[in-house]
Every structure is written in structure tokens, then in C-alpha cells.
Structure 1
Amino acid sequence: MAQRPAPRPREAFVLAGQVVGSVAPGFLQQIDPARLAGQGGRLRQHSGAWHLEAAPEARTAARTAALNALAVALRDAQLCGPWRNEQLAVCNPQGERLATVERGAVRVLGVGTCAVHLVGLASDGRMWVQQRARDKPNDPGLWDTLMGGMVGAADTLAQALARETWEEAGLRVADLAGVAHGGHVLLERPSSDGGGAGYMVERIDWFRARLPDGMLPCNQDGEVQRFELLPPSTLRAWLVQGLFTLEASLVIAGFLGL
């Protein structure tokens, strides 16, 4: 686990009686609770925690509506991350899904997320890496694994792997050789979302695969600037120089056994 604590202790964020995240002290006091009333949500502070209640609390749809009403209020107050129109799962500590919420709100609410990465290898052992587009909201211009993306609320891990591999690298997973789950890393660290009020909690599952000779990655979604094929010596040097995102560094270190 790569863990860096928040600069100040965070307050629990509770949905329908279950802890699903955390918020910076005083952060949600900037939101008018009346903004949630139209979706049946009630936001209140109690015993050092923030509670979002939905009626009826037992229904996933009601919890999702209340959460997304809060996300819209945060967006309108310019207190969330980049808006993606993408829903991510919101789970309790036991991993049970309670609701979904807009991706742009997960960091400021300290909601745990899941991501997937692909370590792509050539037959000679070199590794394919991508440089992130310079207009990406997070880590622009840094280097990444061949593919790295979020697991959406409607995705299985395999579906996210397939979709993101196509969107970022223009490759079909079925055309790759030796596709295998390599491991996972856990990441907890402060986030710049919400003016620095965010906190990232993420599980990254990574896979490895070999690209057949002659097969080249080709970006489809405009989020990659270019690809490079690196020998192990250069890969290690770039890691030391801090040219990779933190997430990619952890994945590559896991692959290399560092």
C-alpha cells in the first residue's frame, strides 16, 4: 500500500447509516442542504461525521439520487473534480454496493474507487508505455503504463480492462498473448480536487500481456500523446527520475518485483 495521510484529520462521510468515505473538516458546510431536498436527500452533521440520508434508505436508487444531487451541488459551487458524466460504485467497508455517484465527486467525498492497468510487453521483454496528453486534468504529460483507467459502476473488471485497452491503446484484449492478472496495489493520498480538499482511496488491479510482433498501440480517445517501447534499464531510470505517475510507478514496481 502507498499511503499518505491527509494534512488534517478527515470526518467520516456516511450514507444511509454506513461509512462510504470521508470529507475535509468544514467542507460540506459550504453546501446548502436545501439543494438536496428535491431528490429526497438530507445532509446533516452528527457526532463528528457527515450523514447523507435518503428516503427510503433501503433503496439503491434513492441513495444514488441523493448522492448525485450532492455531486451537482458540489459542481455548481466549484468544489469537485472534473465532471465526467460517469458513474462509479459507492461501497461500504465490506465491499457491498450501496449506490453510484458521478466520478467528479468521489475524491472530495473520499469515496473508494477501483482502477485497472495493463502492463504491455514486447516479445523481447521491452515494455510499452504511454505519455499522457498534456490537456488531461490529472498528471498531464507524465508517463503511464500501456493502459490505465477507471472501473465504472456498470463494469466488471474484465469489461473495464477490455474497454480501456481499446480506448487508450486501440488493442483488443483477445488479440494479446498471455493475458494474466499480475496483482493489485492500494493507494491512499491527498487529492487536489475541490481546491485540495480531496482524498484518493483506490484499488488498482493490474494485468500483464504480450503484444504479438508487429502489433502497435494506437490511441482512440485523444488522452494519450505518444507511446514508447522501453528496455528494462531505461524503464528503471525513468522510475528513479519520477517521470511516471504514482499509480504507474507502483504497478511497474510490482511487475519488476521492486
Structure 2
Amino acid sequence: MDELVDILDEQGNPTGQSCLKSEAHRKGLWHPTIHVWLYNKDGKVLIQQRGKHKDTHPLLWDVSVAGHVASGENIPLAAVREVQEEVGLIISEADLEPIGTFKAIHKISEDFIDAELHHLFLCELKVPLTALTKQESEVDALELIPLFRFAEETWGLANTAKYVPHGPTYYKTIVKEIKSRI
């Protein structure tokens, strides 16, 4: 879906401008997104396999829930909305634990540069995997895996090609933050 997104400067500050997401991607303009990592007290993390028709990184494994922040939308509310849309889980803003932001640029092609400021959240998953409903157009599969295995695969160099290339610093941050909560 092509929606309006707010444009940011390189430091992540709003510029007061907005444009369609497709234009932001075509021009490599910075814009805000949310990443919500769902984990449980058993030491497992929810990962999603991106849909096969996604413009970026189809069929790679990624964050539990990710999405764009619509123009003028409150960032935590965008996270709540995306969690419900992508995995069918109803949460509130109070369930979200903000853990920072992460700047990322993925050059997909000459006319597709994804320049995003990811707002990172953790959220405890209190229901079984079977209670989740994946959004067919966005998500190919969901898997709940041990945090240790996730750490090995994302920055322990065991299987990094399986995942969206967010980089070791990003993944180490996620693992450290989840580990401190279980």
C-alpha cells in the first residue's frame, strides 16, 4: 500500500514535508518506521518470514513486526496498529517497551533506496504462536525460536543469509535487550 510518510533529515528530525512512500523510496528520503520484537518469558523470539511479493528482502526472515509510520501518525500507535495488522495480536501502547532508534539504508536498486529510521520496541508475547494470525499479503510464515539460536544465526555467523541484513550491531542490541528481560 502506498501511503503518505513524513520526511526526516539525516539526524531523524521532521522536515515538515511528506510524500508517498514510493517516492521516498525512489528518492532515498529518510522516513520513520517501527520494529516490534515479540518475545516470551521462555526465552524465545518471534521472527517472521517476509512475503514472497515484498519489494524488499522477499522471503528473508525479519523482525516480528515492521511497518511504516503514516504521515502525522503517533509512533507508538503505529506500532500497535502494525502488530494487529501483521500478526493479529491486540496490544496497547503500555505493552511496548521502547529501546531506541536505528538508522538504516538499503539500496535495493538505482531507483529504490530505503532510508529509514527504525523506532525499536520490545513487547512480551503472552499468547501461544497458534493464537497469531499472519497477514497473508505481508507475512509468509511466523516462527518462535530460542533467543540463543536467533543470536547464533544473526550475528554468530551461523546463518546470516537467512535474515534481512540489518547488521550485527542491530541484532546484538535486540538480543541483549530481550535477554535482560527474560
Q: Name the TM tier (shorter chain).
A: 0.7 to 0.9
Listed as ranges, the matches of 1:142-221 within 5 Å are 142-174=60-92, 178-192=95-109, 196-214=110-128, 216-221=131-136
Give secondary structure in 2 for the equivalent of 1:225: strand
Over 3 Å counting, the alpha-carbon distance change for 1:250 and 1:132 in structure 2 is farther
For 1:161 and 1:190, the matched residues in 2 are separated by: 24
Structure 2 unpaired stretches of 5+? 178-182
Matched, 1:104 2:27: no
For 2:172 and 2:61, the matched residues in 1 are separated by: 14
For 1:177 and 1:92, the matched residues in 2 are separated by: 29
Q: CA RMSD in A?
A: 2.5
Over 3 Å counting, the alpha-carbon distance change for 1:233 and 1:108 in structure 2 is same
User: Deviation at 1:181?
Assistant: 0.5
TM (normalized to structure 2)?
A: 0.81
Give secondary structure in 2 for the equivalent of 1:106: helix
| Residues 123 and 213, structure 1, Cα contact 8 Å, conserved in 2 | no
Give secondary structure in 2 for the equivalent of 1:172: coil
Listed as ranges, the matches of 1:71-90 within 5 Å are 84-90=1-7
| Residues 151 and 171, structure 2, Cα contact 8 Å, conserved in 1 | no
The higher radius of gyration belongs to: 1
**Higher RCO (CA-CA < 8 Å; seq separation 6+):** 2
TM (normalized to structure 1)?
A: 0.59
The answer to which of 141-150 and 182-191 deviates more is 182-191
Structure 1 unpaired stretches of 5+? 1-83
Paired residues, number: 171
The answer to which of 220-229 and 163-172 deviates more is 220-229
Residue identity opposite 2:63 in structure 1: T
| Residues 177 and 211, structure 1, Cα contact 8 Å, conserved in 2 | no
For 2:8 and 2:123, the matched residues in 1 are separated by: 30
Over 3 Å counting, the alpha-carbon distance change for 1:157 and 1:248 in structure 2 is farther
Out of 215, 230, 235, the residue aligned to residue 145 of structure 2 is: 230
Deviations along 1:157-216, whole A, 9 cap, x unmatched?
Answer: 012101110111101123x98531012111134232xxx234332111111111114463
Give secondary structure in 1 for the equivalent of 2:17: strand
User: Deviation at 1:249?
Assistant: 6.3
Residue identity opposite 1:88 in structure 2: V
| Residues 10 and 30, structure 2, Cα contact 8 Å, conserved in 1 | no
| Residues 133 and 141, structure 1, Cα contact 8 Å, conserved in 2 | yes
